[in-house]
Structure 1
Amino acid sequence: MIQEFSGKTVLVSGAARGQGAAHALRFAEAGASVVVSDLRDDLGEGVVEQIRMKGGQAVYQHLDVRDGGDWDTAVARAESVFGGLDILINNAGVVACEPVDTCTDDTWNNVMQTNAAGVFQGMRAAVPAMRRRGGGAIVNTASMMGLVGSWGYAAYIASKFAVVGLTKSAALTYAADNIRVNAVAPGCVDTPMLDEEKKIMATNPYWDFDEWVANQPISTIAQPEEVSELVLFLASGRARYCTGGVYPIDGGSTAG
């Protein structure tokens, strides 16, 4: 296998399971040194062990993406252990489905602090380190719900629209530093978060999950590894002319 990311260091948030774990494993396969970060320490250490068993390089770093100090520590760990930071994958997120009139302050604040402020904090911590490396690539995880509206999901949709805006602003701001910033906008992906969301949907009179999937242009669920391939492309030199883009990977759900 081509070691496309040999000599590169990547920091992946929310990497203990689901899409984040898939991204971390795939980057390691492609030769990157990986900082696996999450709140779920045991699961995160397990991802590191998987990478090392396959001959890759990785360390685990506890990270609450809502905490700027945690971000500074994670970036410093990447620099101290692997010599620098080249790639940031802002993947951590939470989901909630509550309309505006019933969304509590706690729900709103947690979703916005995790999904939107977490991306902001991550980029703020990573940019100086990438400048020290002469450039880098950032891939933020938005959502198809950062491109269209939906019943309920008030905080979640607001947070993902914020990720899209942050991505575009950062792309314009840091292009002169040779730092590219893009976002992926996944739809229905087979992860533990989807299992949580299906439970939420079951209580929502406006959503029928199976019917929704069946009505997509590509009427199936994506696997996390499929999202990883897009993420790796955007982080790679093959995407050198891509910045400020938001790339749906949603079975065509937002095409019409």
Structure 2
Amino acid sequence: MFEDLAGKTAVISGGARGQGASHARALSAAGVNVVVTDIRDELGTAVAEEIQGNGGKAIYRHLDVRSTEDWTTVIADAEKEFGKVDILLNNAGIVMCEPVDSLSDENWDAVINTNLAGVFRGMRAAVPAMRRAGGGVIVNISSVFGVKGTWGYAGYVASKAGVAGITKSAALTYAADNIRVVAIAPSSVDTPMLDEEKVIMAQNPYFDFDEWMASQPIPRIATAQEVSDLVLYLVSDRSRYCTGGIYPIDGGILAG
């Protein structure tokens, strides 16, 4: 279905579980060589081994997205193992629900350094490799809350809005290098991270998750596979005229 992806190489941050693991499996099924990265080494290794067991090509590497050194090593290992880097999927992220007046420096730094600076460091490491490969595609994971905002998520919303902004700037900067840069803005996705997020959401006195789901035009949670389907389109030649866009996958939330 995505024959043009066969033989390409993708680096995926946060690939040990949830959306990242789903993207790794989907890309591998399309013939992509996959570099699964995460800080959850046991889970990430299991995802890579599962892909290998199904006939795909995958390796696992430890990556703390806050670390420039880790990013340098991962990109170098990807080129050494598979010869090039064609796709970067900046998927790793964390969620915190705290308003500005109670948000500590420590928590602000944690969410910005992971969600936004991690994306910056990933792109900075990958762009030279993509130039060597003759081009590539970078997909950054933003959020509907990076577009519309929500109560209490000061650091998270700021980080995801920043992801949208850096995506647009990079798209303009690297188009001449045949590097496309896009972002995805999901709402709630059925993953282990959502279970953790629901605990955080319960702190919000103005927000009821079930009521919010019921109010959406498509009143349900997205599956990880549905997000992976969008990823496949955006990294394939079917979207070769697309760069700089922020693509919602949100059940219609941003339409209202």
TM-score (norm 2): 0.99
1:184 corresponds to which residue?
184
Q: 2:213 aligned with 1:213, yes or no?
A: yes
Aligned to 2:199: 199
Residue 2 of structure 1 and its aligned partner are, at CA, apart by 5.3
* DSSP-derived class of the 2:101 partner: coil
**Residues 3 and 29 of structure 1 are in contact (CA less than 8 Å); yes or no, is this contact kept in structure 2?**
no
| Structure 2 residue identity aligned to 1:54 | N
The CA deviation at 1:4 is 3.7
Secondary structure (helix, strand or coil) at the match of 1:221 reads: coil
- Within 5 Å, which residues of 2 pair with 1:146-185? 146-185=146-185
| Cα RMSD (Å) | 0.8
CA distance in 1, matches of 2:192, 2:144: 18
Within 5 Å, which residues of 2 pair with 1:43-192? 43-192=43-192
**Secondary structure, in 3 states, of the residue corresponding to 1:101?**
helix
CA distance in 2, matches of 1:203, 1:239: 40
Residue type of the partner of 1:16?
A: A
Q: Matched residues in 2 for 1:202 and 1:119: separation? A: 28
Aligned to 2:241: 241
CA contact (8 A) 1:9 1:84 kept: yes
Number of residue-to-residue matches in the alignment: 256
Distance 2:139 2:149 in 1: 22
* C-alpha separation in 2, matches of 1:30 and 1:149: 35
Which letter does structure 2 place at the counterpart of 1:220? Answer: R
Percent sequence identity is 64
Secondary structure, counterpart of 1:26 in structure 2: helix
Separation in structure 2 between the aligned mates of residue 149 and residue 186 of structure 1, nearest angstrom:
13
Give the whole-Å Cα distance in 2 for the aligned partners of 1:83 and 1:3.
19
Deviation at 1:203, TM superposition (A): 2.2
Structure 1 gaps of 5+ residues are: none
Normalised to the residue count of structure 1, the TM-score between the two structures is: 0.99
Secondary structure of 2:198 counterpart = helix
Letter in 1 for 2:14: G
Work out whether residues 141 and 185 of structure 2, in 8 Å CA contact, stay in contact via their aligned partners in 1. Answer: yes
Residue in 2 that maps onto 1:229:
229
Deviation at 1:3, TM superposition (A): 4.0
The structural deviation recorded for 1:174 is 0.1
2:207, 2:189 → 1: CA distance?
A: 17
Maintained 8 Å contact 2:2/2:236: no
- Judge conservation of contact 2:97–2:152 (CA < 8 Å) in 1: yes
Contact 2:151 2:204 in 1 (8 A): no
Q: Name segments (4+ residues, structure 1) moved above 6 Å.
A: none
